[in-house]
Amino acid sequence: MKSTIKALKYSFILIFSIVFLAACSLFPQQAKEEIDPPRENVSYEDDLDLSEGEDGEDAEAGTVQTELYLIDKNGYVVPQTFALPNTESLAKQALEHLVIGGPIEEKLPSDFRAVLPADTQVSVDIQDGVATVDFSKEFADYAPEDELKILQAITYTLTQFDTVDRVKLQLNGNPLTEMPVNGTPINGELTRNIGINIDTSSVADITNTESITVYYLAQANDNSYYVPVTKRVKNENKNPIVMIVDELIKGPKLTSELYTLFMPDVALVEEPMIEDGVVTLNFNENIYGSYEQKLVTKQVLESLVLSLTEQEGIEAVSIQVNGETDLVNWDGESIAEPVTRPKHVNTGSF
């Protein structure tokens, strides 16, 4: 039964990809006479059209692009990027925008909600890379099923800032050793090692597993967005890079609302290489979204870049197909050079 469901799911993805490719060929953008020349360390920040100045500041409005980790309609904790006022306390402002009924409400994308209980007051003190957050009593008034999501949203929202590596939580000035509703233990300082949208469905015993974070796709209306998922996978002495690529190809669990645009017959043809922060991946031709154009779709490329740059020491991803580097992205631009991680994730409006 499971194999039948999985086959149907991959059939749907294949049909979706074919239709999508056909639609784009029927309604093409204005054609370029020549492919743009390669750029060193290409970034998809251009695709996001953020119009930022230095340090992430929006040159037009004096705002700063900030990722807020919200809860989507499927219950996943998802980063969404907003232009917030460039204040002296960006970390405090970010948490205030996570409060239900707070300043974020009018800006919320469709089918997303804030995570902190209404009327929660926060203060943030950052010292030596540690953000100590003190919540008012209203913080303890949340649904039990949201407890882990709240921990993840707070930790990931704060650790986006260069000055924050770790997070400590307090309630009315008292350190929290466990969460106030369901009692989830808080063992000292929180980091992104706690994971996000944790999936242990592929293993029965997590004792001999490794934690990796991959980015799958979800759908809201006519738009797609990226959802980070921390998976526990069997430790088979594989290269962590290979494990991440394998999980992207395998896709999310069948019962989830997430999907991948990797076809199941995509495979690496040799071991990945890492040099000067760039990982080089050599795939078979099934990575192509278009064989004729040697085209790698934006969603496939960005899923790879977002997932792999979660690994310490990896700053960019270089793609080859059977050793060839003359590849293009969906806009017809060369991706012969390494592609870096965008500064912000999910910047579109829904």
What are the tens digits of pLDDT across the range 281-291? 999 999 999 88
Using CA atoms, how far apart are residues 102 and 94, in angstroms rounded to an integer? 11
Q: Are 259 and 315 in contact (CB under 8 A)?
A: no
Q: Which amino acid is at 47?
A: D
Q: pLDDT under 50 in the chain at which residues?
A: 1-56, 58-60, 349-350
Which uninterrupted H or E stretch holds 95? helix 90-96
How buried is 158 (Cβ within 10 angstroms: 0-12 exposed, 13-18 middle, 19+ buried)? Answer: buried
CA 211 from centroid of its chain's CA atoms: 15
CA 338 from centroid of its chain's CA atoms: 19
Query: What is the per-residue pLDDT for 348?
Result: 64
Q: What is the per-residue pLDDT across 46-79, written as a single tens digit (0 to 9) for each?
A: 333 333 333 445 444 699 999 999 999 999 999 9
Say what the pTM is: 0.82
Using CA atoms, how far apart are residues 327 and 325, in angstroms rounded to an integer? 6
Give me the residue label for tokens 């690496």.
268
Q: What is the DSSP code string of 307-326?
A: HHTTSTT--EEEEEETTB--
Q: Are 66 and 50 in contact (CB under 8 A)?
A: no
Q: Are 272 and 306 in contact (CB under 8 A)?
A: no
Using CA atoms, how far apart are residues 269 and 243, in angstroms rounded to an integer? 14
Paired strand residues for 67: 81
Query: What is the per-residue pLDDT for 3?
Result: 45
Other CB atoms closer than 10 Å to residue 305's CB: what's the count? 24
Three-class SS state of 174 = strand
CA 242 from centroid of its chain's CA atoms: 18
Could you tell me the end-to-end alpha-carbon distance of the chain, in angstroms, rounded to an integer?
Answer: 36
Q: Are 180 and 171 in contact (CB under 8 A)?
A: yes
Using CA atoms, how far apart are residues 142 and 53, in angstroms rounded to an integer? 38
Backbone phi and psi for residue 189, each to the nearest 5 degrees, phi listed first: -90, 140
Three-class SS state of 330 = coil
Other CB atoms closer than 10 Å to residue 283's CB: what's the count? 23
